[in-house]
């Protein structure tokens, strides 16, 4: 029965991890994987999370199912985090939250919802985008299209993006990264968000905003600017949020699908359909991650600790971005790579070519994906001089 099954090559990132592990170069640097790293190269459990878990362990009384929409307390905590505490959208009861297994799970729910409730509509993603977007939407049976995002000089191609959005057929879905665009790190300014909203409104397009890095760019509220603007200006918005990065609970699979509708009644209709999609995929979401987030966000003391820790992570990344460019100054390359300091989030489209990436790996033990995307959290004050020197060598 399985004779015809072909083996497919493994994930490029996983291959990179394996190759990195085997590399014996003592100065090797891993800029490949997509998780936060501290200055020691670890991805630790946040203090607020540890404390929340201790409380949960002590107080937990049951492990019964939590329902297709997840724990109500989780939704009540995530909605104001994403949409703003005094959001008119929440005031009008236009938003529904469904706890999901990670941001990926929320994307899959969104994809299945679009496929079943909006048959024939296409989905538009930035070129490039997080590669999994392609698989998630096409496997749900939706036709995928791309709009430009980066130009040949490795800059945000906003004019190209806007021109493409203006040609999208009415009713199609447009995937936007709320902040910390993966893989490029190029984000829209507030003014650019305003222009995007106008086009979406004019063209009657449905935004699906992927919000996987809230708090990693400029701040929890600053990063939500686009999401909140869209939700307040448009009748309908889909938001997929993730707690993997900002709570550091990658393996607990904690995300949220937020559906914003025109009014409370339509929101309830949509919500009832989302429950079916969730039930058909996995029935109920895993409870633990949502319980951690809920425990933190409903407790002022834990929230304050969490915000502080998140600020530390964000500041570390943004400092490393500036220090990377600074380290390239002696080689006259600071202008060439200045974009790294301007980009936001965990990732950076450095502008390094695939050939340069290959050389960095073979000659210096520096690992990143061939697109030139680097995980900035893999930089450290110890490895920056080495990285800068290696980059200078492959630029000669
Ligand atoms: N969207 C984007 C843009 C991402 O980068 C990621 C994580 N790499 C996700 C969604 C999914 O996040 P999660 O791990 O919560 O499923």
Within 8 A by CB and 6+ apart from 355, the residues are none
Q: List the end-to-end C-alpha distance of the chain, in Å, as a whole number.
A: 55
Domain limits of the chain? 12-44+314-394, 65-298
Determine contact, residues 346/182, Cβ cutoff 8 Å: yes
10-32 mean pLDDT: 89
- May I ask the CATH class of domain 12-44+314-394? alpha beta
Q: Of all helices (H) and strands (E), which one includes residue 97?
A: strand 95-100
For a substitution probing ligand 1, which of 132, 249, 371 has the most ligand atoms within 8 Å of its CB?
A: 132
| Interval 256-278: pLDDT, tens | 999 999 999 999 999 999 999 99
CA–CA distance, 176 with 188 (Å, rounded to integer): 10
Q: Which residues are catalytic?
A: 130, 210, 245
Distance 80 CA to ligand 1 centre (A): 20
132-151: pLDDT as tens digits = 999 999 999 999 999 999 99
Q: How far apart are CA 291 and CA 245, in angstroms?
A: 16
Which is the closest atom of ligand 1 to the Cα of 107?
10
Classify residue 366 as exposed, middle or buried by CB count within 10 Å of its CB (0-12, 13-18, 19+).
Answer: buried
Spatial contact of 148 and 160, defined as CB atoms under 8 Å apart: yes
* Greatest C-alpha distance within the chain: 64
Report the alpha-carbon distance of residue 25 to residue 27 in Å, rounded: 5
Structure tokens at 210: 């992927």
Mean pLDDT of the chain: 96
353 burial (CB, 10 Å; 0-12 / 13-18 / 19+) is middle
Provide the CATH number for the domain formed by 65-298 in this structure.
3.40.640.10
Instruction: Indicate if ligand 1 lies below 6 Å from the C-beta of 101.
Output: no
**Other CB atoms closer than 10 Å to residue 149's CB: what's the count?**
21
Spatial CA neighbour of 101 closest among 251, 209, 238: 251
Angle at 86 between CA 80 and CA 89, to 5 degrees: 75
Is the CB of 102 within 6 Å of ligand 1? Answer: yes
The residue to mutate among 102, 187, 216, 242, having the most atoms of ligand 1 within 8 angstroms of its beta carbon, is 242
Beta strands in 173-267 (DSSP E): 173-177, 206-211, 237-242, 255-260
Q: What are the tens digits of pLDDT across the range 43-87?
A: 999 999 999 999 999 999 999 999 999 999 999 999 999 999 999
pLDDT of residue 34: 84
Decide: 212 in ligand 1 pocket, CB within 6 A.
Answer: yes
Residues 297-315 have a mean pLDDT of 98
- The answer, yes or no, to whether any atom of ligand 1 lies below 6 A from the CB of 244, is yes
- To the nearest whole percent, how much of the chain has pLDDT over 70? 100
Using alpha carbons only, give the angle 257, 304, 185 rounded to the nearest 5 degrees: 50
Q: Is the minimum distance from the CB of 210 to ligand 1 under 6 angstroms?
A: yes
- Asked if the model's pLDDT at residue 126 lies above 80, the reply is yes
| pLDDT recorded at residue 10 | 75
DSSP 3-state assignment of 353?
A: coil
Given a cut of 90, is residue 13 above it in pLDDT? no
* pLDDT tier, 231 (very low <50, low <70, confident <90, very high otherwise): very high
Q: Cβ-count burial of 296 within 10 angstroms (0-12 exposed, 13-18 middle, 19+ buried)?
A: buried
* pLDDT single digits (tens) 353-388: 999 999 999 999 999 999 999 999 999 999 999 999
User: Is pLDDT at 345 greater than 80 in this prediction?
Assistant: yes
Ligand 1 atom with the shortest distance to the CA of 129: 3
């Amino acid at each position: 029965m399985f004779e015809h099954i072909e083996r497919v090559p493994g994930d490029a990132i996983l291959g990179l991890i394996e190759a990195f592990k085997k590399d014996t170069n003592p100065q090797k640097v891993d800029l490949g994987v997509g998780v936060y790293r501290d200055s020691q190269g670890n991805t630790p459990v946040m203090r607020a999370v540890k404390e929340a878990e201790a409380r949960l362990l002590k107080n937990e009384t049951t492990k019964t199912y939590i329902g297709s929409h997840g724990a109500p307390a989780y939704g009540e905590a995530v909605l104001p985090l994403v949409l703003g505490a005094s959001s008119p959208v929440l005031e009008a009861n236009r938003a529904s939250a469904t706890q999901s297994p990670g941001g990926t799970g929320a994307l899959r729910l969104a994809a299945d919802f679009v496929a079943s409730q909006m048959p024939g509509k296409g989905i538009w993603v930035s070129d490039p985008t997080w590669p999994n977007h392609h698989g998630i939407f096409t496997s749900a049976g939706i036709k995928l299209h791309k709009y430009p995002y980066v130009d040949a000089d490795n800059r945000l191609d906003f004019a190209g993006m806007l021109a493409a959005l203006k040609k999208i057929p009415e009713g199609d879905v447009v995937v936007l990264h709320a902040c910390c665009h993966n893989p490029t790190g190029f984000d829209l300014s507030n003014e650019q968000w305003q222009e995007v909203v106008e086009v979406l409104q004019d063209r009657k397009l449905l935004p699906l905003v992927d919000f996987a890095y809230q708090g990693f760019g400029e701040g929890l509220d600053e990063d939500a600017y686009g999401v909140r603007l869209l939700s307040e200006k448009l009748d309908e918005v889909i938001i997929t949020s993730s707690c993997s990065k900002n709570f550091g609970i990658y393996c607990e699979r904690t995300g949220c699908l937020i559906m914003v509708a025109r009014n409370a009644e339509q929101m309830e209709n949509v919500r009832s359909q989302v429950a079916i999609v969730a039930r058909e995929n996995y029935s109920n979401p895993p409870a633990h991650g949502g319980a951690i987030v809920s425990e933190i966000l409903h407790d002022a003391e834990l929230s304050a600790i969490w915000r502080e820790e998140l600020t530390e992570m964000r500041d570390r990344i943004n400092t490393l971005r500036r220090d990377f460019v600074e380290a390239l100054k002696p080689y006259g390359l600071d202008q060439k790579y200045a974009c790294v300091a301007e980009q936001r989030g965990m990732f950076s489209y450095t502008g390094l070519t695939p050939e340069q990436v290959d050389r960095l790996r073979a000659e210096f033990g520096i690992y990143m994906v061939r697109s030139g995307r680097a995980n900035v959290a893999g930089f450290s004050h110890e490895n920056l001089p080495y990285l800068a020197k290696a980059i200078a060598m492959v630029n000669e």
